Amino acid sequence: MTAMTDNAMPVTPRAIRDEMIVFAIMTLLLLIVPLTDLYPFFVMQALCCALLACAFNLLIGYGGLLSFGHAMFLGTGGYVTAHAAKVWGMPPEFGILVGVAASAVLGVVTGIVAIRRQGIYFAMITLALSQLIYFIYVEVPFTHGEDGIQGIPQGHLFGFLDLSKPTVLYYVVVANFLFGFLIVFRAINSPFGEVLKSIRENEQRAISLGYKTDQYKLLAFILSGTLAGFAGSLKVYVVQNASLSDVEVSMSGLIVLMTLVGGLGTVFGPVVGAFIIVATQQYLAGFGSWVTVIQGSIFVACVLLFRRGIVGEIAHFFRRSL
Amino acid sequence: MADAGMAGTAAAPSASNAAVLSVQNLEAWYGESHILHGINFDVSPGEVVTLLGRNGAGKTTTLKSVMGIIGKRAGSIRFDGKEIIRASSDRIARMGVAFCPEERGIFASLDVRENLLLPPAVRNGGLSMDQIFELFPNLKERLSSQGTKLSGGEQQMLAIGRILRTGARFLMLDEPTEGLAPVIIQQIGQTIARLKKEGFTILLVEQNFHFAATVADRFYIVEHGKIIDGFANSELQANMEKLHTYLGV
């Protein structure tokens, strides 16, 4: 929590200008990836995780609500989109839409239950709900249990963008990531974001100023869950499957790790954190299950040595908002 | 010592049905601890009323109870004629009660401008940013400073300025002079006097009796969770000896 507060900077015009410059650089880098030797599949996976971490960061970094169950949104978005695409034959735009809608509904239902408590109790409720959803997905036939939904057709987005072509798919994922990122960016730089920050810092004071803080927390939870579902839906078209691994508790832990490593309460931290964690999975795959040990070591190092996260430390050093 | 009920009515210059705030037999608890044991007082429109008392007497708890921050309460709190003892804190705020807590509650990650823009407008007539800067010129110079980078005096000005933005006409200020330099205390005093002149009703909690004497119309003495005495500012000199006994000054 201390790290989170340390990263919090007022949204001055200069801060927004800094963030816009970094956003432009990030966009440019993403656009030129196909021209480099970088593996596009890795970048697409990382972007899906980055969107997921950004959604999670909106809740913890700005609302102060630590969810240990965000994998339920990722998995729900993924499963529903996968089912819609494979069984119902929906085109990608509608597949993504129903996946996102399902996550939003799940966000409403779980949010109403979870936001009634704070701190560790909120985290435990989200964890319990996530486990509940996990066991539902283990049992219901449409998820195909351990096998998951495989061989999902990528189809044509809007009827003309052939997602089976890697370059087209890459730019579609980039565009969707930037869209989701900008929603989060807009939310945290809006009056809604200011109220969220005030709730994070002193909820009682925000209430006594006249805010119904439960409504704001619920809205943040739903928005965060919906965007996490959006990431899950996108991921389906990248990896062409939806499996239980996306709903598991370890995935929820991974989301926390990505955000912490990058920088809690920073705009770009979750993106950096997601790239680092996905890179460890991708490029250190040869170490087998030792990857988990490496990730654990990164987590410990992060907590002990740079509690603000990578972006948080850089922002703190240069006294900039990133 | 006068009993609570007598004190509440003896010093009140107006009938309770005309009062903006009327507190009757207010009791409050922190968990198992019984803090307020039947508080009675009224605040009339346009008045500055001060609750005086020693540390731990129940002054802050009284304000928090009015604001709905204390979970367990009993008795009656009527604001603008409406019973609010069961109302939630946010609803009380939206009815036009503004509370400036002792710890000021400045949001650290927001700058001065954002802290001032944050409060919702609960009624028409909230002060504009320019009006706030006219009251507290220091704030204009620190507009982009983070809340925690302000001095104690500036934080207090920001905390008062923030509640004035809401449009609330009934202000509850909890020890606004605590820990401040004399020159800042003087500025806060002038602000309170000006707000009173503009028709604001103010309920003040103070330990600094000398400050309270310059701004308040009436005083209530709180001790052990009860109002034990009350008098108007015009009766101050006559009650000075008693007051010294009550406050131990």
Cβ-based contacts of A1 with chain B (< 8 Å): none
Determine whether the interchain pair B117/A191 forms a contact, defined as Cβ–Cβ distance below 8 Å.
yes
Give residues with Cβ within 8 angstroms of A96, minimum separation 6: A81, A176, A230, A233, A234, A237
Residues of B in contact with A191 (CB under 8 A): 117-118
Distances (CA, A) of A289 to A267, A275, A281, A294, B123: 31, 19, 10, 9, 61
Could you tell me what percent of chain A has a pLDDT over 70?
96
pLDDT reading at B17 higher than 70: no
- The nearest CA of chain A is from the CA of B67 a distance in Å of 7
- Give chain A positions within 8 Å (CB) of B104: none
Residue of A194, A204, A210 lying closest to B110 (CB–CB): A194
Mean pLDDT, residues B86-90 taken together: 94
User: What's the whole-number mean pLDDT along residues B62-76?
Assistant: 94
Asked if residue B6 has pLDDT above 80, the reply is no
**A5 to chain B: nearest residue by CA?**
B109
Q: What is the mean pLDDT of chain A?
A: 91
- Residue pair A67/A126 in contact (Cβ under 8 Å)? The answer is yes
User: Has residue A10 got a pLDDT over 60?
Assistant: no
Tell me the three state secondary structure of residue A154. Answer: coil
If one counts every other C-beta atom within 10 angstroms of the C-beta of residue A93, the result is 13
Identify which has the larger pLDDT, A5 or B78.
Answer: B78
Residue A217 has pLDDT above 60, yes or no: yes
pLDDT at B237: 85
Residue A165 scores a pLDDT above 50 = yes
Among A148, B240, A8, residue whose Cα is nearest residue B229: B240
User: Would you state the structure tokens that stand for residue A162, as one six-digit string?
Assistant: 């052939």
Element (H, E) at B49: strand B48-52
Give the span between the Cα atoms of B22 and A297, in whole angstroms: 61
Residue B180's SS3 state is coil
Q: Rounded to a whole number, what is the distance in Å from the CA of B237 to chain A's nearest CA?
A: 37
- The pTM (predicted TM-score) of the whole model is 0.87
Buried b (16+ CB within 10 A) or exposed e, B40-73: bbbbbeebbbbbbbeeebbbbbbbbbbbbbbeeb
Confidence bin at A14 (pLDDT 50/70/90): low
B221 strand-pairing partners: B52, B229
> Nearest chain A Cα to B110, which residue?
A10
Distance from CA of B97 to the nearest CA of A (A): 9
| Cα distance between residue B238 and residue B227, in whole Å | 19
DSSP A83-133: HHHHTS---HHHHHHHHHHHHHHHHHHHHHHHTTS-HHHHHHHHHHHHHHH
Choose from A16, A209, A217, A266 for mutation: most chain B CBs within 10 A.
A209
- As a whole number, mean pLDDT of residues B162-183 equals 92
Q: What is the pLDDT of residue B12?
A: 42
Q: Count CB pairs under 8 A between chains A and B.
A: 70
pLDDT value for A197: 93
Element (H or E) spanning B48, and its range? strand B48-52
List the B82-83 sheet strands across, edge first: B33-43, B21-30, B72-79, B82-83
Over range A188-204, report the average pLDDT. Answer: 92
Distance of CA A118 to the CA centre of its chain: 21
pLDDT band, very low/low/confident/very high, at B83 (cuts 50, 70, 90)? very high
Token pair recorded at residue A189? 């730089």
- Per-residue pLDDT, averaged over B21-26, amounts to 96
Q: Looking at the predicted structure, is the pLDDT value of residue B13 above 50?
A: no
The confidence score (pLDDT) of residue A8 equals 52
**Average pLDDT, integer, range A152-159:** 93
Lowest average pLDDT, out of A10-24, A211-225, A277-291, B97-111, goes to A10-24
Q: Which residues of B touch A (CB under 8 A)?
A: 67-69, 88-90, 92-94, 99, 101, 105, 107-111, 114, 117-120, 122, 144, 146, 162-163, 166
Cβ pair A202:B93 closer than 8 A: no
Whole-number average pLDDT of chain B: 88
- Domain at A9-30+40-318, CATH from 1.10.3470, 2.30.29, 1.20.1630, 2.60.120: 1.10.3470
Sheet holding B201-206, edge to edge: B97-100, B170-174, B201-206, B48-52, B218-223, B226-232
How confident is the model at residue B236, as a pLDDT?
A: 85
pLDDT of residue A11: 56
Q: Mean of the pLDDT values across residues B108-115?
A: 90
Which pLDDT band, with edges at 50, 70 and 90, does A271 fall under? very high
Measured between beta carbons, the chain B residues lying within 8 angstroms of A8 are 108-109
* CB half-sphere exposure, A46, CA atoms < 13 A: 22
Q: Look at residue B243 in the predicted model and tell me its pLDDT.
A: 85
Integer Cα distance of A171 and A188 in angstroms:
26
